[in-house]
């Protein structure tokens, strides 16, 4: 990096946040746009993050009694048509298969063999999983069914952005069926709390939890609950959702069972999911102008060891010390998984390698050079601090020090994110102040502004639509509160039962 360049990533966050985000992804080598518009190639560094998220969440799902399964990618159009609200909500985003082969004609390949019924490429799986549950469920003894699948889905996206909105993305979707309404509602909340715990304890994201307004509800659901994160441009990202579907989908799919009293009943169902959007959320919340910052509990590589070998006569001894330290570190468990440790022995300049790992967000960098080896020490640097800040530790002490340092980085990132969110979350009681809060002072150069506004709302969809049209601001959630504060909606002058969270969002 040249002396004139102040940061590893340009532009900086405060100069052009959307472009900064793209450049962080590029600098960390996480993903790239593919030849298919709206789709992305997730590169090994980016996919390693998703694998870690999968591993942790999969363990949390199984600990709550869920099992994994897999259902078809293609969904008959007639399945979607059975649930009117559902198909209406996804109709504009569906990719549809109408033919099953290609034939050569005039030197070109053209579709042939028209299907008797079009197939929709999975936008979500409620309908086809419902058809399977209808076959499987005959008695109350067959319930509950607690399944999850890890899959890809397709929702045709007109304004794609890597990780945040792509035509194809990866996710998990849980689908459960229950004997009673109470069981299904309990399941819906249980999985929301799983997401909240995962976001806070592993991604270092201090999310808000609550219910979506009716206009923001999942198509066909009776209730949608969510976790909402604030990122560094003060916008919201819906990081996960859990849906209480009631009996809507079970009636459409015919999920019927003989109840305990011999009567025929419909099952109560839920669905819940998170996606690779979590990677985009992580990037936008924690990263800085030098690149990606990864919370240690979700990192695939926790420590990178950089041997500094300027002279050939000391190279072998330094490499031996680096490999010995790496072996000691790999024997350590960090929050249920072995430490991920790399020794970077590539024939590149030390500065080039250092900056590559900074940009990739590796939590701890350890440098061992001739002087360090002679003194029995190593230079330890943390990604959550300035890149020039180093601590020299005895080599023998490092294995015992690494896990506590990683825990401290994790708590530091959560603390920073919480302070940031709280600093930009404001209680607002007037329409004028609300509009000012979400309006850039200089429209020609809209700097980062706004945040979360906690404002009373009378429950009117018309109010929601007007504010969305005026400001592109929506209700992100109706937060859970033990003692909600009643008041007056500043937009209608009507009574309000509690404050809701408004924000611009991705």
Q: How far, in Å, CA of 74 to CA of 98, rounded?
A: 11
DSSP secondary structure letter of residue 422 = H
- Count other C-beta atoms under 10 Å from residue 91's C-beta: 12
Task: Scan for tokens 């998170």, then name that residue.
Answer: 274
Per-residue pLDDT of 55-77, as tens digits, reads 999 999 999 999 999 999 999 99
Q: Give the burial string for 5-36 (b: 16+ CB within 10 Å, else e).
A: eeebbeeebeeebeebbebbbebbebbeeeee
pLDDT at 44: 98
Per-residue pLDDT of 38-51, as tens digits, reads 999 999 999 999 99
| Whether residue 85 has pLDDT greater than 50 | yes
C-alpha closest to that of 238 among 200, 198, 280: 280
Cα distances (angstroms) measured from residue 10 to each of 73, 287, 360, 428, 453 = 40, 13, 15, 35, 30
Cis check: omega of the bond before 11, within 30 degrees of 0: yes
Per-residue pLDDT of 407-426, as tens digits, reads 999 999 999 999 999 999 99
- Pairing between β-strand 67-68 and β-strand 145-154 as defined by DSSP bridges: parallel
* 476 close to 503: Cβ distance less than 8 angstroms: yes
The torsion angle over the Cα atoms of residues 96, 102, 104 and 105, rounded to 10 degrees, is: -30
Which ranges of 42-157 would DSSP assign to H, the alpha helix? 44-63, 77-81, 84-90, 126-136
Q: Which residues pair with 380 in a beta bridge?
A: 366, 391
pLDDT at 482: 85
User: What residues contact residue 64 under an 8 Å CB cut-off, 6+ apart?
Assistant: 146, 190, 191, 194
Per-residue pLDDT of 150-182, as tens digits, reads 999 999 988 899 999 999 999 999 999 999 999
**Three-state SS across 312-358?**
HHHHHHHHHHHHHHHHHHHCCEECCEECCEEECCCCCCHHHHHHHHH
Task: Scan for tokens 């532009």, then name that residue.
Answer: 11
C-alpha closest to that of 170 among 274, 294, 92, 74: 274
Q: CA-based diameter of the chain, in Å?
A: 85
| Whether residue 99 has pLDDT greater than 50 | yes
Q: Which domains does the chain have, with CATH numbers?
A: 17-66+122-286 (3.30.930.10), 299-421 (3.40.50.800), 425-503 (3.30.110.30)
pLDDT at 87: 81
* 270 close to 246: Cβ distance less than 8 angstroms: no
pLDDT at 445: 65
Per-residue pLDDT of 180-206, as tens digits, reads 999 999 999 999 999 999 999 999 999
Q: Which residues pair with 41 in a beta bridge?
A: 32
* 29 close to 162: Cβ distance less than 8 angstroms: no
| Whether residue 4 has pLDDT greater than 50 | no
Query: Binning pLDDT at 50, 70 and 90, where does residue 83 land?
Result: confident
pLDDT at 320: 97
Cα distances (angstroms) measured from residue 274 to each of 121, 389, 390, 448 = 19, 36, 37, 27
Q: Report the percent of the chain where pLDDT is more than 90.
A: 91
DSSP secondary structure letter of residue 288 = B
Q: What is the arithmetic mean of pLDDT over 337-360?
A: 94
Q: How far, in Å, CA of 64 to CA of 219, rounded?
A: 26
Backbone φ and ψ of 324, nearest 5°: -65, -45
Q: Which residue has the higher pLDDT, 141 or 157?
A: 141
| Whether residue 483 has pLDDT greater than 90 | no
pLDDT at 5: 52
User: What residues contact residue 482 under an 8 Å CB cut-off, 6+ apart?
Assistant: none
Structure-token pair, residue 413 = 């990132």
- In this prediction the pTM is 0.95
């Amino acid at each position: 990096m040249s002396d004139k360049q102040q940061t590893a990533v340009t532009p900086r966050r405060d100069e052009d946040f959307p472009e900064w985000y793209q450049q962080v992804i590029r600098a960390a080598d996480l993903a790239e746009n593919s030849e298919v518009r709206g789709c992305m190639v997730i590169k090994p560094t980016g996919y390693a993050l998703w694998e870690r998220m999968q591993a942790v969440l999969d363990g949390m799902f199984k600990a709550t009694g869920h099992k994994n399964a897999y259902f078809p990618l293609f969904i008959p159009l007639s399945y979607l048509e059975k649930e009117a609200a559902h198909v209406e909500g996804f109709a504009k985003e569906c990719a549809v298969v109408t033919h099953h082969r290609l034939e050569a004609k005039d030197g070109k390949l053209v579709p042939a063999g028209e299907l008797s019924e079009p197939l929709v490429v999975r936008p979500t799986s409620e309908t086809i999983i419902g058809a399977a549950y209808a076959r499987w469920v005959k008695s109350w003894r067959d319930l509950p069914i607690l399944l999850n699948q890890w899959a890809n889905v397709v929702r045709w996206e007109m304004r794609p952005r890597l990780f945040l909105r792509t035509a194809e993305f990866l996710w998990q979707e849980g689908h459960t069926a229950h004997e009673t309404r109470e069981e299904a509602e309990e399941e819906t909340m249980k999985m929301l709390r799983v997401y909240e715990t995962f976001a806070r304890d592993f991604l270092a994201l201090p999310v808000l939890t609550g219910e979506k307004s009716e206009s923001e509800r999942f198509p066909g659901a009776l209730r949608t609950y969510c976790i909402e994160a604030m990122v560094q441009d003060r916008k919201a990202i819906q990081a996960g959702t859990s849906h209480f579907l009631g009996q809507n989908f079970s009636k459409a799919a015919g999920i019927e069972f003989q109840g305990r009293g011999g009567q025929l009943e419909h099952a109560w169902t839920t669905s819940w999911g998170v996606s690779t959007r979590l990677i985009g959320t992580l990037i936008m919340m924690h990263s800085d102008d030098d690149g990606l910052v990864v919370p240690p509990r979700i990192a695939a590589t926790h420590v990178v060891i950089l041997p500094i070998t300027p002279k050939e006569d000391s190279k072998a001894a330094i490499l031996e010390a680096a490999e010995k330290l790496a072996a000691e570190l790999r024997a350590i468990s960090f929050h249920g998984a072995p430490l991920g440790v790399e020794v970077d022995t590539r024939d590149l300049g030390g500065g080039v390698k250092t900056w590559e790992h900074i940009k990739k967000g590796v939590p701890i960098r350890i440098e061992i050079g001739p002087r360090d080896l002679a003194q029995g020490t190593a230079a330890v640097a943390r990604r959550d601090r300035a890149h020039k800040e180093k601590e020299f530790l005895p080599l023998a002490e490092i294995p015992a020090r690494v896990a506590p340092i990683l825990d401290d980085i994790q708590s530091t990132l959560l603390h920073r994110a919480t302070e940031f969110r709280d600093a930009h979350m404001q209680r607002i009681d007037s329409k004028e102040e609300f509009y000012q809060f979400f309006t850039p002072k200089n429209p020609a150069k809209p700097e980062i502004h706004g945040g979360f506004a906690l404002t009373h709302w009378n429950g009117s969809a018309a109010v929601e639509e007007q504010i969305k049209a005026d400001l592109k601001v929506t209700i992100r959630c109706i937060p859970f509160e033990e003692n909600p504060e009643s008041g007056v909606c500043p937009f209608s002058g009507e009574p309000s039962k509690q404050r809701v969270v408004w924000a611009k969002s991705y």
